[in-house]
Structure 1
Amino acid sequence: MNIGQVAKQTGLSSKMIRYYEEVGLLPNIQRTSAGYRVYTAQDLQALRFIRHARTLDFSVEQIKELLSLWRNQSRQSAEVKQLALAHIQQLQQRIAALQNMVEILQHTADCCAGNETADCPILEQIEHGQKD
Protein backbone atom coordinates (compact mmCIF):
# COMPACT_ATOMS: atom_id res chain seq x y z
CA MET A 1 0.00 0.00 0.00
CA ASN A 2 1.29 3.47 -0.77
CA ILE A 3 1.04 6.51 1.47
CA GLY A 4 -2.01 7.92 -0.33
CA GLN A 5 -3.95 4.70 0.15
CA VAL A 6 -2.93 4.50 3.77
CA ALA A 7 -3.95 8.12 4.34
CA LYS A 8 -7.44 7.38 2.98
CA GLN A 9 -7.84 4.25 5.08
CA THR A 10 -6.61 5.77 8.34
CA GLY A 11 -8.03 9.27 8.07
CA LEU A 12 -4.54 10.72 8.53
CA SER A 13 -2.83 13.07 6.13
CA SER A 14 0.25 11.93 4.24
CA LYS A 15 2.15 14.68 6.06
CA MET A 16 1.15 13.27 9.48
CA ILE A 17 2.08 9.75 8.42
CA ARG A 18 5.53 10.97 7.38
CA TYR A 19 5.83 12.86 10.68
CA TYR A 20 4.96 9.75 12.68
CA GLU A 21 7.66 7.88 10.80
CA GLU A 22 10.14 10.73 11.38
CA VAL A 23 9.57 10.77 15.16
CA GLY A 24 9.92 7.01 15.43
CA LEU A 25 6.32 5.90 15.90
CA LEU A 26 6.54 3.91 12.65
CA PRO A 27 10.00 2.43 12.47
CA ASN A 28 11.28 0.42 9.54
CA ILE A 29 8.79 1.35 6.84
CA GLN A 30 9.69 -0.62 3.75
CA ARG A 31 10.65 1.26 0.60
CA THR A 32 10.71 0.36 -3.06
CA SER A 33 13.90 0.59 -5.06
CA ALA A 34 12.68 4.02 -6.17
CA GLY A 35 12.40 5.13 -2.53
CA TYR A 36 8.60 5.08 -2.22
CA ARG A 37 7.16 3.95 1.09
CA VAL A 38 5.28 0.66 1.12
CA TYR A 39 2.99 0.06 4.08
CA THR A 40 1.94 -3.30 5.45
CA ALA A 41 -1.28 -4.28 7.21
CA GLN A 42 0.61 -4.02 10.51
CA ASP A 43 1.67 -0.46 9.66
CA LEU A 44 -1.94 0.41 8.90
CA GLN A 45 -3.03 -1.06 12.23
CA ALA A 46 -0.32 0.91 14.05
CA LEU A 47 -1.39 4.14 12.35
CA ARG A 48 -4.98 3.60 13.44
CA PHE A 49 -3.72 2.98 16.98
CA ILE A 50 -1.71 6.22 16.82
CA ARG A 51 -4.70 8.18 15.51
CA HIS A 52 -6.91 6.88 18.31
CA ALA A 53 -4.25 7.65 20.91
CA ARG A 54 -3.95 11.20 19.53
CA THR A 55 -7.72 11.69 19.87
CA LEU A 56 -7.20 10.91 23.57
CA ASP A 57 -4.48 13.59 23.57
CA PHE A 58 -1.58 11.30 24.36
CA SER A 59 1.78 12.88 23.52
CA VAL A 60 4.19 11.39 21.00
CA GLU A 61 6.36 10.09 23.85
CA GLN A 62 3.36 8.53 25.56
CA ILE A 63 2.28 6.95 22.26
CA LYS A 64 5.76 5.46 21.84
CA GLU A 65 5.35 3.82 25.22
CA LEU A 66 1.80 2.69 24.43
CA LEU A 67 2.90 1.23 21.09
CA SER A 68 5.69 -0.64 22.81
CA LEU A 69 3.25 -2.08 25.33
CA TRP A 70 0.69 -2.85 22.60
CA ARG A 71 3.27 -4.76 20.57
CA ASN A 72 4.57 -6.65 23.63
CA GLN A 73 2.37 -9.69 24.17
CA SER A 74 4.03 -10.38 27.54
CA ARG A 75 3.17 -6.92 28.89
CA GLN A 76 1.38 -6.43 32.14
CA SER A 77 -1.85 -4.48 32.03
CA ALA A 78 -0.73 -2.70 35.21
CA GLU A 79 1.83 -0.79 33.13
CA VAL A 80 -0.84 0.35 30.70
CA LYS A 81 -3.18 1.32 33.50
CA GLN A 82 -0.44 3.34 35.23
CA LEU A 83 0.22 5.25 32.01
CA ALA A 84 -3.50 5.89 31.50
CA LEU A 85 -4.00 7.08 35.09
CA ALA A 86 -1.05 9.46 34.82
CA HIS A 87 -2.53 10.83 31.60
CA ILE A 88 -5.92 11.28 33.26
CA GLN A 89 -4.25 13.32 36.00
CA GLN A 90 -2.56 15.53 33.38
CA LEU A 91 -5.87 16.01 31.58
CA GLN A 92 -7.62 16.94 34.83
CA GLN A 93 -4.93 19.54 35.55
CA ARG A 94 -5.39 21.02 32.09
CA ILE A 95 -9.17 21.04 32.52
CA ALA A 96 -8.76 22.94 35.81
CA ALA A 97 -6.43 25.45 34.12
CA LEU A 98 -8.87 25.90 31.24
CA GLN A 99 -11.76 26.35 33.67
CA ASN A 100 -9.77 29.04 35.46
CA MET A 101 -9.22 30.81 32.13
CA VAL A 102 -12.94 30.66 31.40
CA GLU A 103 -13.74 32.15 34.80
CA ILE A 104 -11.26 35.01 34.33
CA LEU A 105 -12.53 35.80 30.85
CA GLN A 106 -16.16 35.52 31.90
CA HIS A 107 -15.59 37.89 34.80
CA THR A 108 -13.85 40.46 32.61
CA ALA A 109 -16.47 40.08 29.87
CA ASP A 110 -19.18 40.66 32.48
CA CYS A 111 -17.35 43.85 33.56
CA CYS A 112 -17.09 45.14 29.99
CA ALA A 113 -19.79 47.59 28.97
CA GLY A 114 -19.55 46.46 25.36
CA ASN A 115 -20.42 49.92 24.08
CA GLU A 116 -18.77 52.63 21.98
CA THR A 117 -16.27 53.70 24.66
CA ALA A 118 -12.61 52.69 24.45
CA ASP A 119 -12.47 51.50 28.08
CA CYS A 120 -12.27 47.69 28.01
CA PRO A 121 -11.61 45.51 31.06
CA ILE A 122 -10.94 42.52 28.79
CA LEU A 123 -7.96 44.22 27.15
CA GLU A 124 -6.79 45.50 30.55
CA GLN A 125 -6.90 41.97 31.95
CA ILE A 126 -4.85 40.67 29.02
CA GLU A 127 -2.39 43.55 29.36
CA HIS A 128 -1.83 43.12 33.11
CA GLY A 129 -2.47 39.41 33.55
CA GLN A 130 -4.04 37.67 36.47
CA LYS A 131 -3.70 39.48 39.75
CA ASP A 132 -2.25 37.27 42.46
Structure 2
Amino acid sequence: MTKTIFISLPVADLDKSVAFYKAIGFTNNPQFTDDTAACMVWSETISVMLLTHAKWRSFTTRPIPPSTSSEVAFNVTCESREAVDAMNQAAGANGGTADINPVQDHGSMYGRDMADPDGHIWGAMWMDPAAFPAV
Protein backbone atom coordinates (compact mmCIF):
# COMPACT_ATOMS: atom_id res chain seq x y z
CA MET A 1 0.00 0.00 0.00
CA THR A 2 1.29 3.47 -0.88
CA LYS A 3 1.97 5.70 2.09
CA THR A 4 -0.51 8.55 2.16
CA ILE A 5 -1.46 11.42 4.44
CA PHE A 6 -5.05 12.01 5.58
CA ILE A 7 -5.32 15.26 7.56
CA SER A 8 -8.51 15.49 9.64
CA LEU A 9 -9.93 18.93 10.40
CA PRO A 10 -13.03 19.92 12.39
CA VAL A 11 -15.30 22.31 10.46
CA ALA A 12 -18.35 24.28 11.57
CA ASP A 13 -20.13 24.22 8.18
CA LEU A 14 -19.32 21.19 6.01
CA ASP A 15 -20.87 22.55 2.79
CA LYS A 16 -19.09 25.89 3.13
CA SER A 17 -15.78 24.12 3.78
CA VAL A 18 -16.20 21.79 0.80
CA ALA A 19 -16.87 24.80 -1.44
CA PHE A 20 -13.78 26.56 -0.04
CA TYR A 21 -11.46 23.60 -0.61
CA LYS A 22 -12.80 23.06 -4.13
CA ALA A 23 -12.16 26.75 -4.89
CA ILE A 24 -8.49 26.51 -3.85
CA GLY A 25 -7.83 23.41 -5.97
CA PHE A 26 -8.86 20.31 -4.01
CA THR A 27 -11.26 17.73 -5.47
CA ASN A 28 -13.89 15.76 -3.58
CA ASN A 29 -13.61 11.99 -3.21
CA PRO A 30 -17.23 10.84 -2.85
CA GLN A 31 -16.09 7.39 -1.66
CA PHE A 32 -15.23 8.93 1.72
CA THR A 33 -17.87 11.67 1.83
CA ASP A 34 -21.24 11.78 3.56
CA ASP A 35 -23.29 14.30 5.56
CA THR A 36 -20.76 14.23 8.45
CA ALA A 37 -17.45 14.27 6.57
CA ALA A 38 -15.92 15.08 3.21
CA CYS A 39 -12.67 13.80 1.75
CA MET A 40 -10.90 16.53 -0.20
CA VAL A 41 -7.96 15.41 -2.34
CA TRP A 42 -4.85 17.50 -3.03
CA SER A 43 -2.74 14.79 -4.70
CA GLU A 44 -2.54 11.03 -5.05
CA THR A 45 -1.01 10.86 -1.57
CA ILE A 46 -2.51 13.81 0.34
CA SER A 47 -6.15 14.19 1.38
CA VAL A 48 -7.98 16.31 3.92
CA MET A 49 -10.92 14.89 5.85
CA LEU A 50 -13.33 17.67 6.77
CA LEU A 51 -15.33 16.54 9.78
CA THR A 52 -18.40 18.15 11.30
CA HIS A 53 -17.88 19.07 14.94
CA ALA A 54 -20.10 16.15 16.00
CA LYS A 55 -18.07 13.70 13.89
CA TRP A 56 -14.80 15.16 15.20
CA ARG A 57 -15.98 14.65 18.77
CA SER A 58 -16.56 10.96 18.04
CA PHE A 59 -12.77 10.62 17.60
CA THR A 60 -11.51 12.71 20.52
CA THR A 61 -12.67 14.51 23.63
CA ARG A 62 -10.00 17.19 23.19
CA PRO A 63 -11.56 20.62 22.61
CA ILE A 64 -11.81 22.15 19.16
CA PRO A 65 -9.58 25.23 19.21
CA PRO A 66 -11.14 28.61 18.36
CA SER A 67 -10.63 29.92 14.82
CA THR A 68 -8.25 32.56 16.21
CA SER A 69 -5.86 29.85 17.43
CA SER A 70 -3.01 28.27 15.43
CA GLU A 71 -2.56 24.61 16.19
CA VAL A 72 -0.67 23.70 13.01
CA ALA A 73 0.09 25.08 9.55
CA PHE A 74 -0.12 23.00 6.38
CA ASN A 75 1.92 23.86 3.30
CA VAL A 76 1.30 22.66 -0.23
CA THR A 77 3.41 23.19 -3.31
CA CYS A 78 2.12 24.89 -6.43
CA GLU A 79 3.43 24.80 -10.01
CA SER A 80 4.28 28.52 -10.19
CA ARG A 81 4.23 31.87 -8.41
CA GLU A 82 1.03 32.65 -10.32
CA ALA A 83 -0.58 29.47 -8.98
CA VAL A 84 0.35 30.54 -5.43
CA ASP A 85 -1.27 33.93 -6.04
CA ALA A 86 -4.38 32.33 -7.58
CA MET A 87 -4.80 29.96 -4.61
CA ASN A 88 -4.49 32.83 -2.14
CA GLN A 89 -6.98 34.95 -4.10
CA ALA A 90 -9.45 32.03 -4.27
CA ALA A 91 -9.12 31.54 -0.51
CA GLY A 92 -10.08 35.15 0.16
CA ALA A 93 -12.96 35.07 -2.32
CA ASN A 94 -14.48 31.84 -0.96
CA GLY A 95 -14.92 32.30 2.77
CA GLY A 96 -11.30 32.13 3.88
CA THR A 97 -8.78 34.83 4.73
CA ALA A 98 -5.97 35.64 2.30
CA ASP A 99 -2.49 36.76 3.36
CA ILE A 100 -2.77 36.11 7.09
CA ASN A 101 1.02 36.58 7.22
CA PRO A 102 3.33 38.72 5.07
CA VAL A 103 4.09 37.39 1.58
CA GLN A 104 7.36 35.45 1.59
CA ASP A 105 9.44 36.19 -1.51
CA HIS A 106 12.97 34.86 -1.41
CA GLY A 107 13.53 34.80 -5.17
CA SER A 108 13.77 31.04 -5.63
CA MET A 109 11.08 30.45 -2.98
CA TYR A 110 7.71 32.20 -2.86
CA GLY A 111 4.85 31.64 -0.45
CA ARG A 112 1.57 33.09 0.78
CA ASP A 113 -0.43 31.98 3.81
CA MET A 114 -4.21 31.80 4.09
CA ALA A 115 -6.81 30.52 6.52
CA ASP A 116 -9.86 28.41 5.70
CA PRO A 117 -13.32 29.37 7.03
CA ASP A 118 -12.51 27.67 10.36
CA GLY A 119 -9.12 29.35 10.77
CA HIS A 120 -6.97 26.37 9.73
CA ILE A 121 -3.75 27.74 8.22
CA TRP A 122 -2.61 26.78 4.74
CA GLY A 123 0.50 27.99 2.97
CA ALA A 124 0.78 27.87 -0.80
CA MET A 125 4.39 27.79 -1.92
CA TRP A 126 6.53 27.57 -5.04
CA MET A 127 10.21 26.70 -5.21
CA ASP A 128 12.52 26.90 -8.22
CA PRO A 129 14.17 23.46 -8.26
CA ALA A 130 17.05 24.79 -10.40
CA ALA A 131 18.06 27.11 -7.54
CA PHE A 132 18.88 24.23 -5.20
CA PRO A 133 21.86 21.90 -5.63
CA ALA A 134 21.21 18.28 -6.42
CA VAL A 135 21.94 15.88 -3.60
TM-score, normalisation: structure 1 = 0.24
Q: Give TM-score scaled by structure 2 length.
A: 0.24
Return the structure number with greater relative CO, CA threshold 8 A, min gap 6.
2
> Which structure has the larger Rg over C-alpha atoms?
1
The structure carrying a bigger helix percent of its residues is 1
